[in-house]
Structures are given as C-alpha cells and as structure tokens.
Chain A
Amino acid sequence: MKASYDVIVIGSGPGGLAAAIAAKENGADDVLIIERDVELGGILLQCIHNGFGLELFNEDIPGPTYAQHFIEKTKGHGVQTLMDTMVLDITPERIVFAINKDLGYLELHARAIVLAMGCRERTRAQILLPGARPAGVYTAGTAQRFVNVEGHMPGEKFVILGSGDIGMIMARRLTIEGARVERVLEIMPYLTGLTRNYVQCLLDYGITLQKQRTVNRIIGRDRVEAIEAVSVDDAWNPIPGTKEIIPCDTLLLSVGLIPENELSKKAGVALDPVTNGPYVDDRFMTSVPGIFAAGNVVHVYDLVDWVTEAGYVAGKGAAHFAQTDKVETGTEIPLKAGENIRYVVPHKISKAHLAEETVRLQMRAITPIEERVLVTVEDQNGDVIAKKGEAYARPGEILTLAIKPTSFDAAQKATSLTVNVRKR
C-alpha cells in the first residue's frame, strides 16, 4: 500500500475499469482502483443478460463477461486494487480517505482522481408512494442483486412500477426463475426503456404492460398483500373510477437512476441540477482541477460501450494531469441544451482539443418524436457545426453525436454551441 498515487479511480464498474486502463496506457505509473464490493466489476456483475459490447466489439455478451474482459486488462496493466473498501471523503486537494477491515483507516494522496461511482436507484420515498410500509417493496436493482448474486427470490408474485430497462429485464428474470409478474405499470404514455426489451422481456413472456397507470397505494401491514393501481392523465393526476386492486406479494420499483454524487459534493465538485452529475468538459474533468468523472456518475447512460469510451477519455485526462499538474484547455466553448433536449454532456469543449480529437456528445430528448429527426449542433449564429440524422428521438434512448476534428474550422468562431433535435 502506498501513500500516494498518480491516479486513484473510485469504483470498478465499466467507467472505472476503462479509466484505470487508460490511465496506465497514458503514462500514469501508480494507478489504484478503490471498490466497495468484494470484487471488481460494479453493477455489471448483476446484469447477467446479453446486450453489452454491441458498439465497441460488435458482440452481444452478458454484463459479467464484458466486465471480465476489462478486469483482466487491468490486471495485465498492473493496476492496483483495494476491495471491500469504502471511500469516506475526498478533498479538493485530492486526498482520499477510505476504510476497510484489514488496513483500517487510509489516507491516500492522488495526483488525479477519477470518480466512477455510478448511480443509485430512486426510492419509494422519493416518489412519495402512499400506503403502508410492509416488507416486499424493493428497487429493481436491489432485487436483481438478490436474485442473481446472493441467490434469493424476494417474492413470488410481482408488480413492477416503471417500464425502464431494469424493470423489464427483471420481469423476464423473475419469470425464468419461476415467479409470476402480474403487471408492469408505466406512468408515462410511452415506454421508457428500449423496445427490444419490451419485446424480449414482456411480450415474449405474456406480461402485461399498462401505460399511464401507476401505483396509488401499497396494501399490507407486514408484507405486501396487494397494490392499488390507478390510471393517470398527462399531468399525473389520478383518473376517477380507474382503481384496481392487484394482489401480489412484492412491488418492484424501476423509477429512475440518480448519479451517486455524495463524494463529488464532498470534493467541492459543481453539479448540474438537470443531470444530478458533475459539470464536465470534453476530457471529463470536473470543476475541481485534477478530479475527473466517468460513466453513470456523470449522467445515466443506456449503452455500456459509451461508458467505457468515457472512461478511456477520463483516464487519459487523469494520467495527463497527474504528469503535468496543469489544466490546459485554452478557449472553451459551452454546450447548451436546445430544442427538445433535456441535457447534453459534456458541458463544454476545448477548441484546442477539438482540433485533434473527436468529441462524443451524449444527449437526452425531452419528448418523443416517432419520425425521422435531425440532431444539430449550432453555434450562436445558428450555423450548423455538426449534424446527424436519426430514425426517431426517444427520452429513454440517449442520442449521441460525434464532433470530429473536421468540424474544427466551423467551430473556430463559436462562442457557444447549442444542441437541438427536430423533426426532419
């Protein structure tokens, strides 16, 4: 155990693993990953379904397989690891305080840090679900951990709230393990996860999805006995006369992910209230020099491949910072969310970087457009710097657009860039 490292990475999910590898590949000697679980891999270890690696490897493999590829690479590169270790605090001066059973209290100095803590799940309390508080109310991710890793079924008869991917994946998973999913309820008028999952998780298994329907009340004192479902209008107001009691013993909540930024706040990192993640530049450096962030801790990705890519960028940036201790960004252009765009990450681009490298933007649409759309990046005069056609725009599917160095000339005079998505 050293007292100081070139780069410390917090979290060993896909973002953290990629960052550690990239840090090593870009000249950082001492790279340490701190992971709170007993092994590396993060959330991928419980995502046992296929669908990972489609973009980067042209493969369709399960989460744990994807993770193992990168875990092996970190070993090959000589990345050091601390497992079953919790980071308690990070200072803006990049001192990391952590604790574990064997070494006790640790104070580690880092020349650069990469935050890769991922997300936590939105809870029952945060959506103010009325009713009793019995056993049997779980967020989908916690249930997934129980079923796939710990080896226990949290119930037999399920109702799932939320048509996000985690909810749908769990609907299928529970069914394969002999349980019954009575209903999936979605408060929005549209599917919030991928259509592929709707087909392969719900339709395939005869599981009913109801849209614009939600849980009005949880019933059961000691253990869930039923939930009362109700239809809602576009403003989420319950519609009278639409209540239905659905007997069940478990309610699974798949109602959103929130970037886990408790540590980021402690480090003084500025957070974007729209993403709940840090403001980052195109190197994924946060507002605190030398502290980078990659993956779901920045915003909620839908494809792990882009998390890996972001991890590489952040790791490279961290290695560079560790060696030079300098932030050389030159002129930076802020990126803004324009028409029908909820947010865009990164929040700013360095003109100098744009000359050399491709910068991939990640955006989320606000309302769905089920027709061909054009995503544009426009400067303050409305001139289009970059554009991309898509078959549709859906809030549940991240839009990405790569700004290539060829756009550098066009971006020269930009003082700000706005991203829009419109019907073509």
Chain B
Amino acid sequence: MAEVSEIICVTCPKGCTLQVKHEGKDVLEVLNEGCKRGKEYAICELQDPRRQVASTVRVKGGLHPLVPVYTQKAFPKPLIPQLAQELRKVEISAPVKINQVVLADALGTGIDIIASRDMPGKH
C-alpha cells in the first residue's frame, strides 16, 4: 500500500521537506524533488538510516573524568540507544590517544568508536 511520508533531507543545509511516496521501505518517487540527492537520501533514510554518534566514555586517572568519542562511520540509527548503553559500561585508563579505539566493532556493526582527542593523565 503506497503512502506519502515527509522526510527532511539534510544532505545540504537547505533542508528541503521531501514528499516521499513509498511502499514500506521501497521508495517509489519523491513528489517534490529539488535535486537528485533528495531521492538518494530518502532511500537511505527508509532502508538503512545512519547517523554519526558522539558521546563520552569514562577515563581512569585522566585530566578529566570523561573523554569524548565518536563513531568512525555513520552508525545504524535503530542501534543508537543500545550503543549509548554499551558506552556507559566502558572505562579506559589515561593517557588516551586521539583516534584510539575505545569500543571495537560496536554491536557487531564493524564500526569502531574512537577517541576524539588526547586525554593526558592527571598531572
């Protein structure tokens, strides 16, 4: 059964609100497409939405108690709540190096979570 959903495309800062005609996860057409990238975005959003996720993990003996981390690649959106939970369990020791892997192959996605910066020891 075909339906029309609204999806805001964020490929470029314009942020067009696309009227997407689809059947389940299959995109039939974008009714008000402004550019080609709109349809590509709509397909991605319906079939495999992914997002960059940034958070923090605990650090032992560091200058600060947390080090910021992020997903090396865009992460499957439905797994984000679980990822947040997993990251809460992680604790690493200072010193931490930028790009250090703090959680490898997170939730079996093949995507590493890496440190955004160095975190030196406390003194």
Contacts and interface: CB of A to CB of B under 8 A. Distances in A.
Interface string B44-65: 0000000111111010000111
B116 A62 contact: yes
Contact of B8 (A41, A64, A198): A198
A48 B55 contact: yes
Contact of A392 (B8, B14, B56, B118): B14
A177 B54 CA distance: 11
Nearest to A397: B13
Contacts of B10: 195-196, 199-200
B77 A48 contact: no
A327 interface: no
A148 interface: yes
A151 B53 CA distance: 18
Contacts of B52: 49-50, 60
B6 to A, nearest CB: 10
A65 interface: yes
Contacts of B55: 48, 176-177
A336 B66 CA distance: 46
Nearest to B11: A196
A194 interface: yes
A258 interface: no
A170 to B, nearest CB: 12
Interface in A38-85: 38-39, 41, 45, 48-50, 60-65, 67-68
A391 B14 contact: yes
A64 B64 CA distance: 13
Given A65-B117, A67-B117, A68-B98, A50 B54 contact: yes
B66 A149 contact: yes
B66 A148 contact: yes
A199 B41 CA distance: 13
Nearest to B85: A178
A61 B118 CA distance: 15
Given A148-B68, A176-B55, A176-B84, A195 B15 contact: yes
A194 B13 contact: yes
Interface of B: 8, 10, 12-15, 51-56, 58, 63-66, 68, 70, 77, 80, 84, 98, 116-118
Given A48-B56, A149-B64, A64 B51 contact: no
A222 interface: no
Contact of B117 (A68, A176, A177): A68
A185 B1 CA distance: 36
Contacts of B51: 200, 204
Given A64-B117, A65-B116, A176-B84, A196 B77 contact: no
Contacts of A203: 8
Contacts of B65: 150-151
A411 B68 CA distance: 48
Contacts of A194: 13, 15
22 contacts: A38-B63, A41-B117, A48-B54, A48-B116, A50-B70, A62-B70, A64-B116, A65-B116, A149-B64, A151-B65, A176-B80, A195-B8, A195-B10, A196-B15, A198-B8, A198-B15, A199-B10, A200-B10, A203-B8, A204-B51, A391-B12, A397-B13
B12 to A, nearest CB: 8
B68 A62 contact: yes
B66 A151 contact: yes
A43 B12 CA distance: 25
B64 A68 contact: no
A151 B64 contact: yes
Interface string A5-35: 0000000000000000000000000000000
Contacts of B118: 68
B119 to A, nearest CB: 9
A49 B54 contact: yes
A60 B58 CA distance: 24
A323 to B, nearest CB: 34
A42 to B, nearest CB: 13
Interface in A238-288: none
A38 B56 CA distance: 20
A150 B64 CA distance: 7
Nearest to A38: B63
B15 A48 contact: no
A270 to B, nearest CB: 33
A199 B70 contact: no
Nearest to A69: B98
Contacts of B14: 195, 391-392
A176 B70 CA distance: 13
Given A65-B116, A397-B13, 7 more contacts: A48-B56, A50-B70, A65-B117, A150-B65, A151-B56, A198-B8, A204-B77
Contacts of A41: 117
Pairs of residues from A and B, 10 with the lowest C-beta to C-beta distance, nearest first: A195-B15, A48-B68, A64-B117, A151-B65, A62-B116, A196-B10, A64-B116, A50-B52, A49-B54, A65-B116
